[in-house]
Structure 1
Amino acid sequence: MKRVFIILIFCLFAISSHGQQDPQYTQYMYNMNVINPAYAGTTEGLALGVLYRSQWAGLDGGPTTFTFAGHAPVGERVGLGISIIGDEIGPVKETNAYIDFSYTIPVTAETKLAFGLKGGLTFHDIGIQEGTIDLIDLGDPFFAQNINETTPNIGAGVYFYKPNRYYISVSMPNILDAVHLDSNGNKIGSETQHVFAAAGYVFDLSENFKLKPHGFLKYASEA
């Protein structure tokens, strides 16, 4: 008989209003390596996930996020992963492409501690000439052309877990403080650094039912 899983999600957000924000990961437990590279390879075999999130449905320019993530163990202690995240709000588009690496060490006979690193590129595009915004001053030189940037970034995390029972995750997927400039070299924004903390536990309610509560905390520092 197939087991039935009950999932409860508790999300707490402490978000700064300065600078660019990372995409909202409300379904993080289904693609954990997006926010924590240490998660890569912690499951058996290849794991793939695709998610789409649309906020303010029906409103033009509302935030949308597309995520593709995959990871697998390579050997006994090494894991590799990949993630692609596309975030769009109004004329602003941001695409992140990352490769994840993790190394796991046994703590006890049943628990493990994984360390992870991620590295990749962020493609930032402000399509101001695509008719996505209404300009008040058509002669403003800031809006004379589209703004396209590519910036590198790195991330790190730790993941302590007992398979099929509980986990504790702490990570910082964007460590570098990237600054966005326009075509004239003027600062138009910067990336806000985020710290993610998550935890979960599996309760056996009966032979066929499990309760899986998750907790999630995101902190954004000022840019």
Structure 2
Amino acid sequence: MSATSFGQQQKVFTNFMMNDYYYNPAIAGSKDVHYANIGFRNQWAGFDDAPLTLYANFYGSAGNKMKHGYGASIMSEQSGLVQNTSFYLNYAYHVRLSDNWKLGLGIKPGYIQYNVKLYDAQLADPADAVLTGNVLSTNAFDFNTGINLYSKKFFFMASMRNALTDVITVTSFNEGLSRHYTGIVGYKWLVNAKKKPETDEEGNVIKRKKDFELMPVFLFKYVKPINPQGTIMLKATFDRKYWIALTYRTQDAAGIALGLTLKKRFNLGYAFDYSLGDIKSYNYGSHELMLTFQVTNKKPSIEEQDEEINNSIFDDNKKKKKKEE
């Protein structure tokens, strides 16, 4: 039984920036916010025994000075006869390097359980002793580490998964978890950021400035002996509510992601990618659905309070005009 029989040791996500916590434990605590998110990925839809992935994360910052980060996650994947379920806990520590820069260091120990469901297997030799029984089970301990260098506009993350390279044992077959190295770098370019709305002589809001953010991101992955793989993403966010992203994964797939933010707390995203390799003729693409809920620790600044009031006044004026018409 080969290592690939145990499914993908590192999962693939088209909308990886909405699930960056999966790639790097130092994400936890980088913002003064608590996050809870759930997600689903149907990879290679229409392809028999293709991977189906479900996950849930909860992470955020602890303490008044935003130095500590915490997190917990659970993930389950079904791929053919194999199902693996993983549980992780997370701790991160953040250091202020300057007025603009911080450095986060994170660890994520975990436990992975593998189940090989043989009752659906088609056996060449029904008397094969290795495949006797309904379910074969095994488990492995895992340990992930990561660093996160970031400012308000720039971020660079590097992480290592499966640092322990624990051995998966099923009867007489032994396979080790391979170390995966990941790097993510990105920059946020803001347009019209925090500009005051236009008002009339009486101070009524007549035109609200709408922000536009453009964020290019590059993700790099490497696991020996496979060739390195890169993913390019270009994400555009309008008015802090609506966003769209285009992605390209080298020699693998091209994708698109869409999403919206509601009440500054709920973030809903959908992603689709189209296979570009030899497998493209045998599937209908991959689909992802993600939902994130966030609660901030800090009180809004005076500027943010003013913006909220101005937006409320602007919306009220629009409703009044519609009624008058």
Do both share a fold (TM > 0.5)? yes
Aligned to 1:8: none
1:148 corresponds to which of 134, 137, 143? 137
Q: Which runs of 5+ in 2 are unaligned?
A: 194-210, 227-325
Aligned to 1:11: none
Question: Between the two proteins, what is the percent identity of the paired residues?
Answer: 25
1:154 CA drift (Å): 1.0
1:74 aligns with 2:62: yes
CA contact (8 A) 1:38 1:117 kept: yes
Question: Which structure carries more helix by proportion?
Answer: 2
Distance 2:128 2:174 in 1: 14
Aligned to 2:220: 217
Amino acid at match of 2:54: F
1:188 CA drift (Å): 4.3
- Secondary structure of 1:33's aligned partner: helix
2:115 corresponds to which of 109, 125, 136? 125
CA contact (8 A) 1:18 1:192 kept: no
- Quickly say closer, same or farther: Cα 1:85–1:153, change in 2 above 3 A: same
Aligned to 2:73: 83
1:202 aligns with 2:188: yes
CA contact (8 A) 1:121 1:153 kept: yes
1:39 CA drift (Å): 0.8
RMSD: 1.9
Superposition TM-score, scaled by structure 2 size: 0.59
Deviations 1:74-109 (A, max 9, x none): 112001011112122101111111011000000110
Distance 2:159 2:100 in 1: 23
1:100-111 equivalences in 2 (<5 Å): 100-111=90-101
Deviations 1:166-212 (A, max 9, x none): 210000122111222223xx124322210110011111244521101
Asked which structure has the greater CA Rg, the reply is: 2
Q: 4+ residue runs of structure 1 moved beyond 4 angstroms?
A: 17-20
CA contact (8 A) 2:93 2:105 kept: yes
1:59 CA drift (Å): 3.2
- Secondary structure of 1:29's aligned partner: helix
Q: Which runs of 5+ in 1 are unaligned?
A: 1-16
CA contact (8 A) 1:194 1:219 kept: yes
- Secondary structure of 2:118's aligned partner: coil
